[in-house]
Amino acid sequence: MFDVRTVEAGGSCDQDRDSDTMSITARRRRAFQRQACLLSVMAAFSLGLALGVFVPLIGMSQAVTKGSSDNGGSSSGASIESDESGQFPLGRFEHLPHKLPHFPTIDDLRGKDSYNSVSFIAEEKLKAEDVFRHAFHIDQRDDKDTMVIKKFDPEDRYIKEYTVRRTADGLFHKGPEKKLSQPSIIDQILSSGKSEDENPDGPVIDIVSQNFDQQDLEDPDGVILNDIYWGSKVENALPRGFGKRQSDSWTRYLQNAEVDHLEVGCGRMQNRMVVFRDGTRACARYRQNTDQIQGELFSFYLGQLLNITNLAPSAASIIDMETKLWSSVTDDISNSQWKSTKPVVITKWIGNLEPAGIPKPFQPLERHLNKLDIKNITEGLDLPKPPKTLLDHLGATQPPELQPIRPPGAPLSEPVIKRLVELAQWSDLIVFDYLIANLDRVVNNLYNFQWNADIMAAPAHNLARQSDSQLLVFLDNESGLLHGYRLLKKYEAYHGLLLDNLCVFRRSTIAALQHLRDNNVGRRLNELFERTTTAKIRDVLPPLPEKSVKILVDRIDRVLGQVQKCREIFSNR
């Protein structure tokens, strides 16, 4: 006999099971519908993305094909090479293709046969070293953020002009360039002269040497000679500095001197002030890296060969406690953490030094220096112009032209001669620092200009002036010829910026450069190294590497090329 409650309970379970099965089926159906809906949305998105990307690319491809056919079908004209940083060097902007890839516009749809190419170079944001490379004349506009620049392009030998506008982020918008001259006479000489293989010294050197034989022409004031050299009035007023006789005397002194004690000082942590028994003082430069000692020593040798007397007498020595020079300061050497057998450079102490600022004509982002600028200085026309009033800006008044302050025929004043003497020493400094690729002087200010616009008004790094003689002393040249050469890729634009703005030189310096170029500068430097050092020093301090010599020769050619460029521009002006 069946229990009715049991049957009813079982029937209830079967009904619940059927209800659960139907619920699962409904959930699966809804999940499938959601997945189908999601797939439909994704498919629609993918289709829209494809239409938005590939259709314009097809139009771009057609535009490129059309541009290539318009250029004669040559693909080489459209190739643009970039440097390792992925940016285009300024010197290659002139070689951009005339017709750039062009997206279809409404004009294209209306059936125009040709496209108007658009150059975006004017809107390119560039750094200062790119904008001002090879510039020799810069005119600043009234808004102080816009400048008109003239440059000499070494690639095609043209003088060009363009406008740049400085933005709030310190970068520059550069406008299109226009040519102001015909190809220079160098091109004519190069095209008719010998090839580089036939004349490895290069034809530009011969051009410069020929000009030394021309008749000298000096202005009435004795300030400018042959359009590009400092005249006799300035040369005779220059301080004497440290010549070959003083340098040889310092080398002989160290051979018999005895150090009394060492003091903390002379710049970096492990440098020391050296006090000798007779009270003479010197600075000893100690470095872990030998190349910085080489850089300091060979930069001094190069200054001697160029007859630049702004470098204090220096000589190399070895830390050897058994020699007379160091035997009395064993404890001081240990306290200084100097290691035995390490080379040092001992430089004579120069007193009465004060900081030296960068003159306005050598702040390349604003000024330049050529014979016309010198004339303005001698006539008092380089003084700052008074600020414009509202009426001036509206054109209601015509500002009077500046008149020369110095009466015709009057002698130059002492302040003017003092300024010219400073600028003449700076012209040597710029040439010297370019040759050795010195990073730790004016280039230091130029590099930091992008972050600090006021740094050009600060004193130059590692430069001092003797207060009694007005001699500029070129300090700390350890980055020259080796360390600086390794970093040319990063800093060469700044080195070139200084040189490209200079068109007045000391004739003796340029003549010495010509002589060194023709008489193996590397051999001359190493001969001086052999003559002024002992065998012990040469055991630990190698000569100047051949790689550095080759770079130096190239930079000598670059300076002589700048001299010739200035001669062409300012001759008979």
Let me know whether 519 and 554 are in one domain.
yes
% residues pLDDT > 70 (the chain):
68
Q: What is the C-alpha to C-alpha distance for residues 362 and 470, in angstroms, rounded to an integer? A: 18
Residue 548 has pLDDT above 90, yes or no: yes
pLDDT tens, residue by residue, 306-321: 999 999 999 999 999 9
Please tell me which residue, 408 or 424, carries the higher pLDDT value: 424
% residues pLDDT > 90 (the chain):
46
Residue 141 lies in a domain: yes
Please tell me which residue, 122 or 341, carries the higher pLDDT value: 341
Looking at residues 388-395, what average pLDDT do you find?
A: 52
Residue 430 lies in a domain: yes
144, 164, 188 - which closes a domain: 188
Let me know whether 529 and 501 are in one domain.
yes
Please tell me which residue, 405 or 227, carries the higher pLDDT value: 227
pLDDT tens, residue by residue, 335-352: 999 999 999 999 999 999
| Range(s) of the domain holding residue 550 | 224-241+354-383+410-572
Let me know whether 522 and 536 are in one domain.
yes
Residue 427 has pLDDT above 90, yes or no: yes
- Paired sense of beta strands 125-126 and 172-174, if any: antiparallel
Let me know whether 181 and 234 are in one domain.
no
Residue 325 lies in a domain: yes
> At 29, which helix (H) or strand (E)?
helix 4-70
Q: How many CA atoms lie within 13 A of 42 on its CB side?
A: 6
Contact 164, 172 (CB under 8 A): yes
Residue 181 vs residues 74, 150, 415: alpha-carbon distances, Å: 29, 11, 37
Please tell me which residue, 102 or 326, carries the higher pLDDT value: 326
Alpha helices in 104-243 (DSSP H): 106-109, 128-131, 185-192, 203-212, 232-237
Let me know whether 325 and 418 are in one domain.
no
Q: What is the DSSP letter of 153?
A: E
Write down the pLDDT at residue 397.
52
Residue 300 lies in a domain: no
Residue 27 lies in a domain: no
Q: Quick one: which of 345, 193, 377, 374 has its CA closest to 267?
A: 345
Q: What is the DSSP letter of 104?
A: -
Let me know whether 535 and 556 are in one domain.
yes
Write down the pLDDT at residue 394.
52
Q: Quick one: which of 224, 252, 245, 246 has its CA closest to 572?
A: 224
Residue 459 vs residues 366, 456, 508: alpha-carbon distances, Å: 17, 8, 27
Contact 568, 184 (CB under 8 A): yes
Residue 409 has pLDDT above 50, yes or no: yes
Please report, as a single letter, which amino acid is at residue 437: A
**CB neighbours of 303 closer than 8 A, spacing ≥ 6?**
309, 310, 311, 432, 474
Please tell me which residue, 12 or 245, carries the higher pLDDT value: 245
Name the token pair of 71. 């250029």
Strand partners, 230: 224
Report the number of distinct structural domains present in the chain.
Answer: 3
**CB neighbours of 512 closer than 8 A, spacing ≥ 6?**
305, 306, 307
Contact 159, 179 (CB under 8 A): yes
Let me know whether 519 and 552 are in one domain.
yes
Averaged confidence pLDDT in the chain: 77
Let me know whether 513 and 471 are in one domain.
yes
Looking at residues 191-213, what average pLDDT do you find?
A: 38
Min mean pLDDT across 194-203, 234-243, 400-409 is at: 194-203
Write down the pLDDT at residue 167.
81
Let me know whether 442 and 474 are in one domain.
yes
Q: Confidence class of residue 83 from pLDDT cuts 50, 70 and 90?
A: very low
pLDDT tens, residue by residue, 472-490: 999 999 999 999 999 999 8
301, 330, 351 - which closes a domain: 351
Let me know whether 346 and 439 are in one domain.
no
Let me know whether 263 and 338 are in one domain.
yes
Q: Quick one: which of 471, 510, 476 has its CA closest to 241?
A: 471
Min mean pLDDT across 104-113, 317-326, 334-343, 372-381 is at: 104-113
Please tell me which residue, 113 or 508, carries the higher pLDDT value: 508
Residue 38 lies in a domain: no
Looking at residues 167-186, what average pLDDT do you find?
A: 69
Residue 444 has pLDDT above 80, yes or no: yes
**CB neighbours of 497 closer than 8 A, spacing ≥ 6?**
128, 129, 132, 133, 135, 364, 446
Q: Is 328 exposed, middle or buried (0-12, 13-18, 19+ CB in 10 A)?
A: middle
- Paired sense of beta strands 135-140 and 146-153, if any: antiparallel
pLDDT tens, residue by residue, 284-300: 999 988 999 999 999 99
Q: Is 538 exposed, middle or buried (0-12, 13-18, 19+ CB in 10 A)?
A: middle
Write down the pLDDT at residue 142.
65
Residue 86 lies in a domain: no
pLDDT tens, residue by residue, 557-571: 999 999 999 999 998
Residue 545 lies in a domain: yes
pLDDT tens, residue by residue, 511-520: 999 999 999 9
Let me know whether 320 and 265 are in one domain.
yes
